[in-house]
Amino acid sequence: MSESGTGQGLSWPKKTREIQTTLMDSTRWNEFEFRDDDIVVATWSKTGTTWTQQIVSQLVLDGSATVFGSAESPWIDFQITPEAVEVADAQRHRRFLKTHLPLDALVFSPRAKYIYIGRDARDVVWSLHHHLTHFSPTAFEKFGEVSRRTGLAPPPPPPADVRAFYHVWLETDALAETSFWANVQGWWDARALPNVLLVHYARLKADLPGEVRRIAAFLDIPIDGAKFPKMLEHCGLEHMKERASHTEFIEQIFDGGGRTFVNKGVNGRWRDVLTPEEIALCDEVAAKNLSPECAAWLRTGDRAG
């Protein structure tokens, strides 16, 4: 079912399980026909997916001012868009696909290049809470349609208070089949593969030009120096908000549309809400679920391996 085995002395990841929730269906990848130049943006939710899709769109589509990367990047495993595979098949430019699946539930192809994005778990929780509490009535209708079609129960609504959500998430995530911690560790363990690149949200914030060049080098895409300043501008928050507001699907799914979907892009908002003990609790949970090197990278963006 997966493209796995050994090539040029390498052992490629093997798919070992399926995940089917009201959000994702891993079986969509099982018969997917990869192309030699495919790009897969792989993340756990709210770690920098949309930002990275925008960066890749600028590299692939020659710095277009009108493109919104998320709209051009089929999310293959997304339950709400069963047409994603057909959309990807019809694309003629170099494809950049999206997945939120952990590596052990994904068909991994040696033909594709994978960009995985990490972010401090506390920032993920803050961004995720905003995301989950701003779904529109249309979004709930669509999730209801998935539930009726699949028989899968939708997840319970999150607590309205972000601090309460933080504690619930820390207590329950490691037990989930889509666990954030397992997702991060799986991709961290694959970081030495020649077609896997790890990117960190904090590094994007600190040095966007340098990280864009690093991604371009990984994808073997030359950068036009004359266009580069505009490309960086197109990866800015305000430009992305404006382009997202022209995306019909996003406008339907979120209260406030694209300007809600592309939120603040800010790290550290939890520092003004959590006590020092609550902040430390996240590191304690991380230490139980991640290797020390992976935990350090996830927290800071400093890669030590």
pLDDT band at 4; cut points 50, 70, 90 = very low
Digit-coded pLDDT (tens) for 9-66? 688 999 999 999 999 999 999 999 999 999 999 999 999 998 999 999 999 999 999 8
Digit-coded pLDDT (tens) for 259-289? 555 555 667 788 889 999 999 999 999 999 9
Digit-coded pLDDT (tens) for 221-256? 999 999 999 999 999 888 888 877 777 766 766 765
Domain 5-300: CATH class, spelled out: alpha beta
Cα of 219 vs its chain's centroid, Å: 18
Answer whether 23's CB lies under 8 Å from 135's CB: no
The domain locations on the chain are 5-300
pTM recorded for the entire structure:
0.91
CB < 8 Å & 24+ apart, contacts of 294-301: 294/184, 294/185, 294/188, 297/118, 297/188, 297/198, 297/200, 298/118, 298/119, 298/120, 298/121, 298/184, 298/200, 299/120, 300/120, 300/202, 301/118, 301/200, 301/201, 301/202, 301/203, 301/206
Mean pLDDT of the chain: 89
Task: Say how many C-beta atoms besides its own lie within 10 A of residue 31's C-beta.
Answer: 9
Percentage of the chain exceeding pLDDT 90: 70
Task: Say how many C-beta atoms besides its own lie within 10 A of residue 155's C-beta.
Answer: 12
